[in-house]
Chains A and B, each alone.
Chain A
């Protein structure tokens, strides 16, 4: 297979960045462009609802790579530019300023965006949907002001924000349609433990409730009305009700790929949140919005572009820091027959089994010692290591250290 002369990557999050740097690490020397809708260089997104919001990490510490890195590696950046259209026949990508990029291989790594709240209301313009650094800066500013926070949605973003806001002394109300937090993903058994924990930390929980309307003045402050006609006054309102794939360059919804990240269009690949990738171990396509998934799929896409046969099928993993718990989840259980719960609210684990008694997934709360073994158990019988498919351990790639990345080996070799 001839190597592509030019690769264009749309999306400058972790998946886009990892695709670019893996290509270079594997020795790709052609033209390489990275297009990002946000103005910032690639940054660490999971921290936005975690360490960045608590103030433990600064904006500079979120940055994944320095500006010099892109220069050294010959990665052309088009930041603050939205990709508008793919002309697959002509091998062109059209940007929002009308410019066109020619590609032999195109990677869609556009991620996902927050689902909008399906209600009307004047306060909607003041409602924060946490996704980008700009959103997080605005939310952090609001938290600095204190007051009353209404959090719509008790998902991971919602509960992490609620945790930080409570710790910073705000009055927090958390609204969610499910009777227990995470009932659908973690089950009612875990949901009960989490519900009690949130309550013990002083969160005003409105579970089993939906928002029927929002009213509020410009500049923040307003009122939520719930379906039981109760009302919540707030200074800041934020919605975290899930994300949807930003796949409109190729159609609607997620972008279907094989296990190597190839779409059905020749020369076009997808990875990260937007990709609905075939999972051989699960026997189905699945879209996963996790850090490890974005990193692993991106590496597989880079290898596929260079003509390697490379399958990404790692055990899904995510983590959440909230209310003094580090939650870690490995595996995938869309549904399950039985849950085994061990421990109490301060430290517990839950294992999810199917009807044949096979372990599908597990959650550990403040039990980091269990995670590595669970991940190995879930990876069986696949003999390959659970990280990115790596046929060539000799391949040179770079660490993820903050601006202290490994220097390119070719530069080191020519050092005096």
Chain B
């Protein structure tokens, strides 16, 4: 499970995040990123973070609960 943060101040509207993980990221009308959810188990969120030229997306992997 991943927790996702996106910084709209850094976002440049490149848009690769919304293509890689459309269930998590979207661009608003002015082209700035916003999160649809802030947790996801889709590894595509990590690719989305890696693809952002502005470094606007940070992904944290949450520790797996045991038992």
| A residues apposed to B, CB below 8 Å | 18, 44, 291-292, 295-296, 299, 317, 319, 326, 328, 367-373, 375-376, 385-388, 390, 393-402, 404, 406-407, 409, 412-413, 415-416
Contact = CB atoms under 8 A, between A and B. Distances in A.
A144 to B, nearest CB: 25
A13 to B, nearest CB: 14
Given A387-B20, A393-B44, A407 B12 contact: no
A386 B16 contact: yes
B32 A368 contact: yes
Contact of A409 (B20, B53, B61): B61
Contacts of A404: 58, 60
Interface residues of B, number: 38
A376 B42 CA distance: 23
B14 A372 contact: yes
| Top 5 A-B pairs, shortest CB-CB distance | A372-B15, A401-B58, A368-B13, A369-B31, A399-B49
A369 B13 CA distance: 6
B14 A375 contact: yes
Contacts of B51: 292, 295-296, 387-388
Given A406-B61, A412-B61, A413-B64, A375 B49 contact: no
A169 B55 CA distance: 29
Contact of A412 (B12, B32, B43, B64): B64
B52 A400 contact: yes
Given A317-B53, A394-B43, A406-B2, A399 B19 contact: no
B47 to A, nearest CB: 6
A387 B58 contact: no
Given A368-B31, A416-B66, 18 more contacts: A326-B12, A328-B12, A368-B11, A369-B29, A372-B18, A373-B15, A385-B20, A393-B44, A393-B47, A398-B46, A399-B59, A400-B55, A401-B58, A401-B59, A402-B55, A412-B63, A415-B64, A415-B66
Contacts of A385: 16, 19-20
B35 interface: no
Nearest to B10: A51
B13 to A, nearest CB: 3
Given A328-B13, A369-B13, A397 B50 contact: yes
Nearest to A392: B43
B57 interface: yes
Contacts of A292: 14, 51, 53
